[in-house]
Structure 1
């Protein structure tokens, strides 16, 4: 079940214990909120029950869909309210609509699909929801300042005469913002940011293979695969190397596809004397094996190529390759 029997809400430094049945007291009367005995208000979805909404934009308070790290907030939800305690939401993982329990709270707050949301606007044509921060058994009512903008499917089709694919395109402000980040990153690769289309490593030799790690969306990670976007990570194997070795490090990949060593992904706090030789050898391997064995396609965002960062876990083996050709065939574009 997605609801919880009791939780604490932080507001202005005060922790208030709440229950699902009555999540607080408010004297503020709002439209579409039903009063219970004049003391406990729960939001009602009766006025929009059965209407199918599609998320057309997800934006921060400043109106942008991208942050300074290049991460894009993507509109993904499709939903309708079946009743005041049930919602139907499209799962991009299972490719189908799924019914989820819905728990209503005070001040237009509700929970469904493992997400706490606050209604900012609600009518038969559109819906604006604020995503709330949630940690442990408490939610921050001030929110994360991230907003989901939804339009009714009927409104999109018969009033806007459009479709969700077109409406979900990045705005002109988003494009201008990314263009500014690209200019900075390409003039100084240390100002790299996450690429919407990540770097690709294409093997040029049967002695080498590179596979990008992919997060499996599941309950344990709340179906969050954002690390694949923010930190593309590759497992690389070099066969018939000069010796057996294993190094983990991150690199800048500039807009020309050139690699620049960044830092080791190893904790040297207990033995700092090993850090310098580790970096020296790892950088040498990067400049030799990786540049020799791979074609590197730089990352890009909104069609603009730019510097970005990737993480590498590199294994060298003196042994001959074992079915490396088959592995490469599966992962080569």
Structure 2
């Protein structure tokens, strides 16, 4: 999946990126000084303007990709100075100040992400995410765009609720319907459900725990999103034997379970056949499954099981 830009955020990887970024800055700043071509961007004209993100889309105008991953507008930012930006975190319900590293050609780095300013006024702002991998950054830009409106502009000019502005478009709906049609015909094309399947037990001998992933508003890697890989830890008492299996299944639009594959590397025939038996003999009998949906439409999606059976429990 490459719907969003990804960057190495830890240790040596980040250090190399910042060193490279600073090196590019220095070289291009010298060029600006001597040739008068490029200068570092300044946010002085928009200091203290509170921007609310209203759209996050790919370059084709869609907020969904072919895997069902939804690009959701969630940022709220304010440039305090040329070297500091305040970003609101819904999780912490507070604004956090981050240092800003400004480059040439309207590029800047903040909150572990590289951006290119495509447009900025006191009413609106359009940012393009710049992809960074390991020790290099792609100065040609990425395929993801973030649209912001100033809070005052929304209140005094647009006069619409931000939830309305952030809602998926009719083009997103048409695109998702096409994904659903394809997945209904071929379960191998099942995709992420924005509202993932819900699994519960209908037996006192079977316990179901949902494994939650805590996301981070400042991360751009989509794997941090809980709905993309809905995972369930299941324990079964009084099983015929002790076992532990991990595998994925497709949940169809009616809540039916269809074995996908083992989560253990290699083609282990014994493991696959026995994990399929666990699905057929236990999970299909003792689980209630509500299918996943996107934009209110039910569709096939993938979920993940870690199943432990205890004979003597």
CA RMSD after TM alignment: 2.5
Question: Measured at CA, do residues 308 and 126 of structure 1 come closer, stay the same or move farther in structure 2, by a change above 3 Å?
Answer: same
Alignment-derived partner of residue 161 in structure 2:
163
Alignment-derived partner of residue 24 in structure 1:
28
Alignment-derived partner of residue 13 in structure 1:
none
Question: What is the Cα deviation at residue 204 of structure 1?
Answer: 0.6
Question: Measured at CA, do residues 230 and 219 of structure 1 come closer, stay the same or move farther in structure 2, by a change above 3 Å?
Answer: closer
Alignment-derived partner of residue 150 in structure 1:
148
Select 1:281's aligned residue among 270, 274, 281. Answer: 274
Question: Measured at CA, do residues 23 and 227 of structure 1 come closer, stay the same or move farther in structure 2, by a change above 3 Å?
Answer: farther
Alignment-derived partner of residue 123 in structure 1:
121
**In the alignment, structure 1 residue 198 sits paired with structure 2 residue 199:** no
Question: What is the Cα deviation at residue 186 of structure 1?
Answer: 1.9
Alignment-derived partner of residue 102 in structure 2:
104
Select 1:8's aligned residue among 17, 20, 34. Answer: 20
Give the alignment of 1:229-244 within 5 angstroms: 229-244=227-242
Gaps of 5+ in 1: 10-15, 28-34, 321-333
Residue pair 1:203, 1:294 contacting (<8 A) in 2 also: yes
- Count residues in correspondence: 300
Select 1:294's aligned residue among 280, 287, 292. Answer: 287
Secondary structure class of the residue paired with 2:52: strand
Alignment-derived partner of residue 141 in structure 1:
139
The 2-side partners of 1:222 and 1:174 are apart by 21
Select 1:184's aligned residue among 164, 182, 185. Answer: 182
The 2-side partners of 1:219 and 1:130 are apart by 17
Question: What is the Cα deviation at residue 225 of structure 1?
Answer: 5.3
The 2-side partners of 1:58 and 1:156 are apart by 17
Give the alignment of 1:210-221 within 5 angstroms: 210-217=208-215
- TM-score, length of structure 1 as denominator length: 0.83
Question: What is the Cα deviation at residue 26 of structure 1?
Answer: 8.8
Select 1:46's aligned residue among 44, 47, 50. Answer: 44
Question: Measured at CA, do residues 63 and 83 of structure 1 come closer, stay the same or move farther in structure 2, by a change above 3 Å?
Answer: same
Question: Measured at CA, do residues 159 and 4 of structure 1 come closer, stay the same or move farther in structure 2, by a change above 3 Å?
Answer: farther
Select 1:307's aligned residue among 275, 300, 312. Answer: 300
Alignment-derived partner of residue 72 in structure 2:
74
Gaps of 5+ in 2: 1-8
CA deviation vs aligned residue, 1:204-253 (integer Å, no higher than 9, x gap): 11111122212234699778653532222111111111111001111111
Residue pair 1:82, 1:88 contacting (<8 A) in 2 also: yes
- TM-score, length of structure 2 as denominator length: 0.89
The 2-side partners of 1:218 and 1:66 are apart by 19
Question: Measured at CA, do residues 265 and 225 of structure 1 come closer, stay the same or move farther in structure 2, by a change above 3 Å?
Answer: closer
Alignment-derived partner of residue 92 in structure 1:
90
The 1-side partners of 2:140 and 2:84 are apart by 25
The 2-side partners of 1:301 and 1:212 are apart by 20
Select 2:252's aligned residue among 251, 254, 268. Answer: 254
